[in-house]
Every structure is written in structure tokens, then in C-alpha cells.
Structure 1
Amino acid sequence: MTCYVKYASDQLAFGVQREKEEAVEKEKILKTDKKLRVKTFGEYLLAVDVAKKHIGECIVRHLYLGLEKGEVKAVSGLVLHGRRNLCEILAGYKMPTDGKLWAMSTWEVHRHPHKYARNVALCSNRNPLPPWMTVFEALKLLATLRGVPIKHVKHEVENYMNSLDLHEKANTYIGDLQQMERTKVHFAAAVVGAPPILIMDEFTANQKYSVRRAMYFILRQLKKRGHAIITGSSSVEAHLPMTNRLGILLHGLIYDIDNIDVLVERCGNSGFTVVLHLKDEVDVKSMLYRYFDMFVINDMSEVSMLLVLVNVQILDSDLTWMTIFEKLEMLVAENATVYTYIVTAIPIDYIYNWILAHETRHAVKEYEAFSFLRKRFERTPKIKPTQETLNKLIPFEQKYNITQLKELPWSVIFQR
């Protein structure tokens, strides 16, 4: 027997709160002005307090999201945390149990599910085409159903197949395709005769560079034509060619959403990480105080008899990319012991991975109910060392806790 306890969530992140306020305001406009159309409103997709329950447990909770014409937003999160379910809900494949979901500022998913689905296409692990059809014929059928003129259907399908390196699989049955080819077919099925809204989940997974480049080019062209796009992935890197607007999904909730630069500034440590490559040992603090007011030395390691690496976090509030380089160039010019340097900001990937690994603000915790039989017949280990024996063990020196790092200690890489 298992019981689930939900803890009261903390205050919403700034980006989530702003997205919620905008979504609620747009919902009021939709409800008050019945004659409003997408040409004047421009909102292609609107979700207000959308939730999905499965066997009594919420897999998507309190989703507020607005997507305008020609806008691209990204959602990074694990499948375990509900990313795929979120994409399928937004695409109309699954009906939300709570909340409102509109497409084209007109069609609400509960009232007009068919008309809602006509305006949204989904690319995911779901197979949208019959497995007994060939790739070419299936894409032709889909393009025709979406309103592509008959005389242009063949040309459009061939263009997509050539771009995605599918021309050799044109006469292959969809059921006989390998997983990598199926992903390309799913992508083509989403973009051929594309509807106004595209939900793309892990569409570049395991694809070679030329195919990924073609996919991004196709989506950018659709964006220029006014299509609204949501991309989903378990990583952040897959979104960067398309958008700078990122939402992080955690335990079925949007943990935070904003531009990547803002997320880095809000969730990470301030300042710049600088690695100095010194020719000889020197008083690093005295040297740095001549150029910077606030800094923290993260690590100092001796690579060889004459080479020393120093990892420093520069925390001066008035620094920009230009001024940090100007000061470091001055430092190198005025100090003969400094061989070279590297400057980096905290990458969004490390912040994202840290959030997934450690953040439990909205977690749904699981508790096992007390069982008398389990307690009575609990198996004990055959050999259990005494506390005295455990105290004699020599612990390893822990220099870095890799699972808690928000920025990479570059000196570790250099030593390799």
C-alpha cells in the first residue's frame, strides 16, 4: 500500500508568475470579447491552469502558457517528470482533466476537440501514420488531408524527403523502418502541410548533423511564415538553434521560464569564472586585488614544477564581457608570471542538471505504509561490521562534489 503526500509549493518563480499573469489576462480578453479573432489577438496557443491526472496522481500541474504567432518556446525536462505527457496534452492527443486550453484564440479543447486538433501537429514517439503504408504514400495522404493542392503534393513531399535523407526509404513500409528513420518520418509528418501550431518533442534525437541542420532550417522557415512552435527535449542544447526562451519542467510543473541569459543570472552564481595559467607560484590575491574588488579563489592546482592553474570566481557587479577581457588583458600585460587565461560564464546546462538532481520544491513524495509483517519478518544482513571497525576506515579526500557543481572547474579538465 502506497500513499502520496503533496507538500505546499513555495512561491512561484518570477518567470512562472509573469507567464501566469499574462495567460490569465489573455483568458479574460477571450471571454469578454466574443468577436475576437486570431488576426487581432495573435495568440495561437493558450493554456490556463491546465492539469492532467492519471490514477489519482497529477502528471501535469498548473500549466500557464501562451504562444503567439511566429513564436518559439522550449520545454526541457525528463519524460519521468511529464514532458511527453505535456506535449501530448498541448497537441490534443490527451484531454486535460482541469483547466482551459485554446488553439487560435477560438477553439477550446473540451468544446471543440476536432477543430482544436486540426490546428496542431505533434512530432513525438507516437506513430501518426499507418504502418502498412509506404513512407511516400503516407506523407502524400497526410499532405492532401491538410489541404495542400493536388498538383503541389508530390513536389512538397519529395522536398521534405530529400531534405531529411529519406529518399532511399520512399517505398519502405513504415512498420519496417528503424527507429532513427521513424523519427525523421514523424518530423516530416508534422511539418508537411503544417498546421499553425507545431509541438516537436525530441525530434533531433540520434540524428546525424546534416539531418538536424535540415530540421532546424525547416522549422525556422515555418517560424518566419508565422507558425507557432513548442520544442521539447530532455536537454537544453537541442533548443538553442531555435529559441532563447526556455521553460524547465520539474515534477509536472514549470519550475521556471524565461530567456536563457535571465535564467542563468537568476539561478546561477553571479560573476565570471576565470582560469589563470601561471608560469610560477605567485601571491594570487595581491595580484587580483589590483584589478578586481570582489573575487573568490575556487581552486589552485600545480600542474607541473613551473605551471600553476588558478580557478577564480570574479564577483564585481559592474563587469561586462568587454570590461572583464579588458582587465584580464591588462593583468597579463603587467604580470610576467601570467601565461594565459580563460573566461566563462555559468552554462545553462549545469544549472538545468543541478535543478533536476536537487530541486524538490514541488516534488510529490512517496511513503510506504507501515506493515507489521514486513517489520516482523525483516531480513537482517548476515555480516554487520561494528562501529569501531567502521571508524577505522580511511575516508577518501573529497575535492569536488560533481553532483552539486553549477559551474565546471576548468582546472580539472586542464590537468587531464
Structure 2
Amino acid sequence: MIEVRDLVKKYGDHVAVDHLSFTAKKGKIYGFLGPNGAGKSTTMNMMTGYLASTSGEVLIDGHDILKEPEKAKKHIGYLPEVPPLYMEMTPYEQLHFAAELRGIARGEREACVVQVMQETGIEEMADRLIRNLSKGYRQRVGLAQALLGDPDILILDEPTAGLDPLQITEIRTLIRRLSSEHTIILSSHILSEVSAVCDEVLIISHGKLVASDTPDNLGHLLTGKETLHLKVKGKIADVEAALKTISGVQQVTAEQEGDLTSVNVQLKGRQSTGGQAKAGKDAQQSGSDAASAESRTPDAAREAIFYRLAEKRLPIYEMESAHASLEKVFLELTEDETEKEAE
């Protein structure tokens, strides 16, 4: 786990990182986004111990990165945008060399190198010169190097930069597979990539954290409301009548498409109810109760819609959420900085 607490970095009068705080937990992939000059790279350098903070602290599995650098860095695997590889070496030689630098015992190095090559799918390239590998395979070698010593935390800077679509898909799949055993923080300028692979997104602007949530929830951030698209088997009048009785529903618009009714349902703004919607048997006990008491959040409203339409014997063929893209949210939250870049 990574804990960033009230982190500040100043260069003279310029504040690059301004009292930044967040926590990254094991088993999740975090996307770290920000315009050029927002403090993203500075923050990543402080998190990995390459740069000292002006104030605040970074804890890596409980170890302060500045006060206990050796203990903290043993838990970190770092992949910079351009992996530090020796072109005249083979992946096998590079990884053995890196394992020695990392302090892995001589008797354990061979097994460790073989394991990370298997994890990253580079066994067949083990004896080729790195200079002859594609960029995608060089990224894999860099990622294998970051995995040496089985660190708890992986910090990946632009891991898919310059890769073709197939290579991007392969690296994305690999990162997803690794996330079950590691905390992963990655930065990327490809917002669709972050949206596809990350469980949570951190957006910084002017060195401050301006948003932190799941990609889906960030999509609702601009309006505070959520719209659902449904296709329901039944007549418009019956579908509208059922949906309009749910307290979490603000507006219903529908049109008939043969035997199906296509419906847009706008939910009311997200509210904190101090608890989560009921599920399972509790929610099934009463469709009416679910529609009233349990529809005060969008998640609960979706559940209430399901049970209400089921109660009225109106089968749901499709239900999907429509929200602003991550790109739109990013541009909205960092508008002044992106305008400066354009100038």
C-alpha cells in the first residue's frame, strides 16, 4: 500500500506539488493523470524516492521513502517511460544483472529471472539482443525488471507509449493480471487506456488532487446525475408508469421499438445515505420498499428499477449507463492548464 500524506514540492517560489494526499491499496490499478506541468512526474519521482519532498511524506507499506529508503524501495518496482536497458545485452543477461543490483541472493537469481520472464511472456526472446527486440518486447523486459524481487507495488510511467494496438492490448492484459498481487499506479496520456484498465483514477491540476474515483463515477461528476438506457419488453405506458413511481428517478423518456420500449431514465443526483442499498433477499422482500427507501443513490436506484420492472412482469433486455467520457471530465477539471498548453 502507498500512503501519500500532505506532499509538497517547491522550486523557489514555484509550488510543483501542493499538499497532495491519497492512498493506493493492494489489488487495484490506479491511473495517475494530469496535464504537462501539473506535478504528475514530480509526484511519481517523490513516490519512488528519486526526488525529496519539501514537506509531507510517502509511506511504502509503512516505511517512509526518505527515512527508510532501503526498506521502502524493496517494496517498489518501477518502470520509467523509457526502460533502462542495455542494448548489447540479452533479456536474460539484463535481468540477471538487475537482480544482482537489487540485492537478490546469488542462489535465488536464476529462479527469480525465470519467473519474471514467464510472467511477462519473454521466454522465447531470452537470448536475443535487446537492440533487436520490438518496442513492445522491450517494454516487457522493463516490466520484468520491475518485477524482480516480487515487489508489492508497481509504478509504471507511460507503459504503453509508442506501442501499436496489439502491443497495447497485450501490455494491458499483463497489467490486469499482475494487479491481483500488486498495487499498481500508472500514468498515461491515453485516457481511453486509463479508462479501460484502471480501477480508480487520480487527476491532478496545479499540483493539487482535483478528482479521485472510479472511471464510471468520474463520468457522472460533471452533472452529478446519471442516465440509464434500457430496453424493456412491454408497452410505453406500462413501463413509464412503473418507473415514475421510483423515488430515485427524476425523468423518463421512452419510445416504442416493436415489442420493446427504449427508455432513457435520468436518476437524481448522487447522495450519501450513510449506507448501501440492500441486496439479495432483503431487497426482494418488497418491490415497493426497494423503490422508495432504497433508491436514494444511483446504485440503489438501478436495483429498484430492476425489482420494480420484475414486479410488473416487464422483462429488461438491456440496461447500460451513459455518462461523460473520461476525456471530457479531464478537460473540464484541468481546463485552465490545458488552455495554457495550447497557447
Q: Could you say which residue in structure 1 is the equivalent of 2:264? A: 311
CA, structure 1 residues 214+171, in 2 after alignment: closer, same or farther (shift >3 Å)?
Answer: same
Q: Could you say which residue in structure 2 is the equivalent of 1:139? A: 95
1:149 corresponds to which letter in structure 2?
A
CA, structure 1 residues 208+355, in 2 after alignment: closer, same or farther (shift >3 Å)?
Answer: closer
How far 1:89 sits from its partner (Å)? 3.3
CA, structure 1 residues 271+47, in 2 after alignment: closer, same or farther (shift >3 Å)?
Answer: closer
CA, structure 1 residues 71+51, in 2 after alignment: closer, same or farther (shift >3 Å)?
Answer: farther
TM-score, structure 1 length as denominator?
0.58
Q: Could you say which residue in structure 2 is the equivalent of 1:93? A: 50
Q: Could you say which residue in structure 2 is the equivalent of 1:342? A: 318
CA, structure 1 residues 183+359, in 2 after alignment: closer, same or farther (shift >3 Å)?
Answer: same
The whole-number CA distance in structure 2 between the counterparts of 1:220 and 1:294 is 35
1:217 corresponds to which letter in structure 2?
R
Asked if 1:128 corresponds to 2:98, the answer is no
Asked if 1:238 corresponds to 2:238, the answer is no
The whole-number CA distance in structure 2 between the counterparts of 1:294 and 1:175 is 59
State which drifts further: 77-86 or 157-166.
77-86
CA, structure 1 residues 323+45, in 2 after alignment: closer, same or farther (shift >3 Å)?
Answer: closer
Out of 234, 257, 271, the position equivalent to 2:212 is: 257
Asked if 1:353 corresponds to 2:327, the answer is yes
Out of 309, 321, 330, the position equivalent to 2:311 is: 330
Q: Could you say which residue in structure 1 is the equivalent of 2:281? A: none
Percent identity between the aligned chains? 21
State which drifts further: 202-211 or 157-166.
202-211
Residue deviations 1:177-234 (CA, integer Å, cap 9, x gap): 322112111111111114454312344675466664444434433x4xxxx5434344
2:264 corresponds to which letter in structure 1?
N
Q: Name which one, 1 or 2, has greater alpha-carbon Rg.
A: 1
CA, structure 1 residues 340+56, in 2 after alignment: closer, same or farther (shift >3 Å)?
Answer: same
1:301 touches 1:309 (CA, 8 Å); kept in 2? yes
Q: Could you say which residue in structure 2 is the equivalent of 1:150? A: 106
How far 1:103 sits from its partner (Å)? 4.8
TM-score, structure 2 length as denominator?
0.68
How far 1:135 sits from its partner (Å)? 1.2
The whole-number CA distance in structure 2 between the counterparts of 1:196 and 1:79 is 28
Asked if 1:169 corresponds to 2:125, the answer is yes
- How well do the aligned residues superpose, as a CA RMSD in angstroms? 4.2
1:49 corresponds to which letter in structure 2?
L
The whole-number CA distance in structure 2 between the counterparts of 1:340 and 1:44 is 42
2:122 corresponds to which letter in structure 1?
L
How far 1:312 sits from its partner (Å)? 2.0
Q: Secondary structure at the match of 1:155?
A: helix
CA, structure 1 residues 287+122, in 2 after alignment: closer, same or farther (shift >3 Å)?
Answer: closer
Q: Secondary structure at the match of 1:172?
A: coil
CA, structure 1 residues 363+299, in 2 after alignment: closer, same or farther (shift >3 Å)?
Answer: farther
CA, structure 1 residues 298+359, in 2 after alignment: closer, same or farther (shift >3 Å)?
Answer: farther
The whole-number CA distance in structure 2 between the counterparts of 1:219 and 1:293 is 38
The whole-number CA distance in structure 1 between the counterparts of 2:257 and 2:320 is 21
The whole-number CA distance in structure 1 between the counterparts of 2:59 and 2:157 is 19
CA, structure 1 residues 281+212, in 2 after alignment: closer, same or farther (shift >3 Å)?
Answer: closer
Residue deviations 1:304-325 (CA, integer Å, cap 9, x gap): 7x76533122446732244321
Query: Unaligned 5+ residue runs, structure 2?
Result: 269-291
CA, structure 1 residues 164+116, in 2 after alignment: closer, same or farther (shift >3 Å)?
Answer: closer
How far 1:329 sits from its partner (Å)? 1.7
1:135 touches 1:185 (CA, 8 Å); kept in 2? yes
Asked if 1:220 corresponds to 2:175, the answer is no
Q: Secondary structure at the match of 1:136?
A: helix
The whole-number CA distance in structure 2 between the counterparts of 1:174 and 1:314 is 54
Q: Could you say which residue in structure 2 is the equivalent of 1:38? A: none
Q: Secondary structure at the match of 2:83?
A: coil
Residue deviations 1:66-110 (CA, integer Å, cap 9, x gap): 457x575613425635544432332233455x333445555554x
Q: Secondary structure at the match of 2:312?
A: helix
The whole-number CA distance in structure 2 between the counterparts of 1:317 and 1:66 is 33
Query: Unaligned 5+ residue runs, structure 1?
Result: 1-42, 334-338, 370-416
1:48 corresponds to which letter in structure 2?
D
Paired residues for 1:9-24 under 5 Å: none
2:243 touches 2:252 (CA, 8 Å); kept in 1? no
CA, structure 1 residues 170+362, in 2 after alignment: closer, same or farther (shift >3 Å)?
Answer: same
Q: Could you say which residue in structure 2 is the equivalent of 1:49? A: 7
How far 1:165 sits from its partner (Å)? 1.9
1:201 corresponds to which letter in structure 2?
D
2:228 touches 2:265 (CA, 8 Å); kept in 1? yes
Q: Could you say which residue in structure 2 is the equivalent of 1:275? A: 230
The whole-number CA distance in structure 2 between the counterparts of 1:65 and 1:194 is 24
The whole-number CA distance in structure 2 between the counterparts of 1:163 and 1:322 is 39
How far 1:351 sits from its partner (Å)? 5.7
1:343 corresponds to which letter in structure 2?
M
1:51 corresponds to which letter in structure 2?
K
Paired residues for 1:386-401 under 5 Å: none
